[in-house]
Amino acid sequence: MSGIQQHFISSPSLGRLVKGLSRLPRLLLSVVAGYLRELGVGLLAILAAMVVVGFMIAAAGLDTLRAYRALLEGSVGSINGISETLVRATPLILIGLGIAVAFRGGMWNIGGEGQFYLGALGAALVGIYLPPMSPVVHVLLALLSGFTCGGLWAAIAGYLRARRGANEIVVTIMMNYLAAFLISFLVSGPLRDNSRLIPVPQTPRIVDSAVLPRLIPQTRIHAGFLIAIVAAVAVWFLLERTTVGYSIKATGENPEAARYGGINVPLISTLAMVLSGGLAGIAGMSEVTGVHRYLLEGISPGYGYLAIAVALFGGLSPLGVILSALFFGALMVGAEAMQRAVGVPVATIYLLQGLVVIFVLARQVLLRRRRILDLKA
């Protein structure tokens, strides 16, 4: 070994740097390969589901290829199609992120739908009843209110689970129904817009300073999409770079071990639930201030339930959630085009979504089993 090399290696920080740099390409390669494998699994699941559904469309006597072409063209074939896809993807990303946080923390939050409703309510109240003010402040207040309302709604289930041992799956589902009834009551009674000649069950419009700006003129894509992307980065940072995120993941993986390691498990799981509900609440805020500009009864076409599929399909990672939300958003938009072009019922995409989730679950289990077998061998 030459003197210079020895010198480099004996200097600890430089040595580590060289070693690290020499490992970097391999590390990058393995990370990229990991992502590609995940992506491959996802694409394979989509392909398998599309083949099954394709046969069912053909069995119904319709033209499968034309249907799928319409699906593609409708969702990503034009500026307007892409914009609509992003509009649908926005709440799916936000709720999906929330579900990912809860699931990673071992809390089975199925209550995205209800938390979305409460967030929409919180934002609508701030948007309707606060006086006009600086748009930035007003939007931030609406966001805060949406986050808080969604978070508190989820906190009920989180608390009942963490402190009283009540099963959170059942509680969050029940809270979904309660949220829908609450909104229905409010928009047809106390909060109803009575200025119309024939009152319909919806609130008055929010004031202009609370409206989220549109990103592209002539389309509906709004700043909520940017909020969703920022939220994804924030969730990634939380889970991968903070102690709280580590505690959430540790609690989810093994609550006994986490408790042993000094983590306050009830607190952390309630916190995961609150964050989860808060993110769904932001989705509700984004729909009210970005899309509808008032609160109405059926404001969610089942975003909260679809987001569970989004989160599972996205492998519970922020990047995965964004990608799968874009896919499911495109499906929602493309399905309408498919119905117009070929007469395939919009409901077909629900079937596609269900199959994709089942296939991806089966694939993931297969991969895990293979890994276990490899370890044993």
Residues at the site binding other proteins, with contacts judged by CB under 8 A:
56, 60, 108, 110, 160, 164-167, 169-171, 173-178, 181-182, 184-185, 189, 305, 308-309, 312, 345-355, 357-358, 361-362, 364-366, 369
Helix residue ranges per DSSP H, the chain: 3-10, 12-59, 64-76, 79-104, 112-129, 135-164, 168-188, 224-241, 243-253, 255-260, 265-286, 303-313, 318-342, 348-376
CB of 286: closest distance to other proteins in angstroms?
23
Q: 80 or 184: whose CB is closer to other proteins?
A: 184
Q: 171 or 279: whose CB is closer to other proteins?
A: 171
Structure tokens at 250: 């540790």
3-state secondary structure of 308: helix
CB of 241: closest distance to other proteins in angstroms?
26
CB of 245: closest distance to other proteins in angstroms?
21
CA distance 319 to 160: 31
Structure tokens at 320: 């995965």
Q: Are 334 and 74 in contact (CB under 8 A)?
A: yes
Q: 228 or 308: whose CB is closer to other proteins?
A: 308
Please state the three-class secondary structure of 264-297 as a single string: CHHHHHHHHHHHHHHHHHHHHHHHHHHHHCCCEC
Closest listed residue to residue 299, CA positions, set 312, 280, 318: 280
CA distance 74 to 80: 9
Q: 189 or 217: whose CB is closer to other proteins?
A: 189
CB of 313: closest distance to other proteins in angstroms?
10
Closest listed residue to residue 112, CA positions, set 302, 270, 248, 271: 302
Q: 43 or 347: whose CB is closer to other proteins?
A: 347
Q: 114 or 204: whose CB is closer to other proteins?
A: 114
Q: 123 or 308: whose CB is closer to other proteins?
A: 308
DSSP assignment of 37-80 equals: HHHHHHHHHHHHHHHHHHHHHHHTT--HHHHHHHHHHHHHSSHH
Q: Are 172 and 95 in contact (CB under 8 A)?
A: no
CB of 171: closest distance to other proteins in angstroms?
6
CB of 9: closest distance to other proteins in angstroms?
46
CB of 108: closest distance to other proteins in angstroms?
5
CB of 336: closest distance to other proteins in angstroms?
14
Q: 165 or 262: whose CB is closer to other proteins?
A: 165
